[in-house]
Amino acid sequence: MRLILATKTQTPEAVRAAYHAGARDFGENYVQEGIAKRGELADLAGARWHMIGHLQSNKAKSAVEHFDLIHTLDSERLAVQIARVRPSPKVQVLIEVNLGGELSKSGVAPDRVESLIEAARDLVEVVGLMTIPPEVEAAEQARPYFARMRELRDRLAARTGLALSELSMGMTADYEVAIEEGATIVRIGRAIFGERRR
């Protein structure tokens, strides 16, 4: 189980304090903000930086150069751009799955994940899947989405022959349920840092 601290809008000082408290994995939503923050915190030995927000193709070069894992691959075009920047060793990515079919969210529909894996697997190293379920009033209401995600991962691992060992799902409001349903990565911000700074 890996805990990623969602550090969007957090100050470098706050991230540094979390590092000294034992955190090593930090997730940023925006490439430029993440690059700036990582630059200010370059002395944090062993810190790992994750791109957890939507990644546009024109930002692929910067993301590859500054992030250790990209959580939001959602198109073959983006995979091509990533591979152009670093064909070897392959960049590790998670495929973002839009389980709820929400127009406001990025990600691919569940029935298109396999075709994206097949299109991308020679370009990048697909190590798992990521999802953000539709917003619910109680954490328990997210359980069916997390269960579907785990079942999808298991089915795709069998069909593609890839381990797909990482399952990134669960945030402050629902991470406990996500872990019960098989999450290997959770992304926590508010529970660590308090309400997000504007």
Q: What per-residue confidence (pLDDT) applies to 58?
A: 94
Which residues fall within 8 angstroms of residue 104, CB to CB, at 6 or more apart?
none
pLDDT (tens digit per residue) in 43-71: 999 999 999 999 999 999 999 999 999 99
Q: Are 28 and 17 in contact (CB under 8 A)?
A: no
Q: What per-residue confidence (pLDDT) applies to 153?
A: 98
Q: What per-residue confidence (pLDDT) applies to 197?
A: 57
Q: What per-residue confidence (pLDDT) applies to 198?
A: 56
Q: What per-residue confidence (pLDDT) applies to 194?
A: 87
Q: What per-residue confidence (pLDDT) applies to 195?
A: 77
Task: Could you please state the CATH topology (level 3) that the domain comprising 2-193 is classified under.
Answer: TIM Barrel (3.20.20)
pLDDT by residue for the chain (198 residues), tens only, comes to 999 999 999 999 999 999 999 999 999 999 999 999 999 999 999 999 999 999 999 999 999 999 999 999 999 999 999 999 999 999 999 999 999 888 889 999 999 999 999 999 999 999 999 999 999 999 999 999 999 999 999 999 999 999 999 999 999 999 999 999 999 999 999 999 987 655
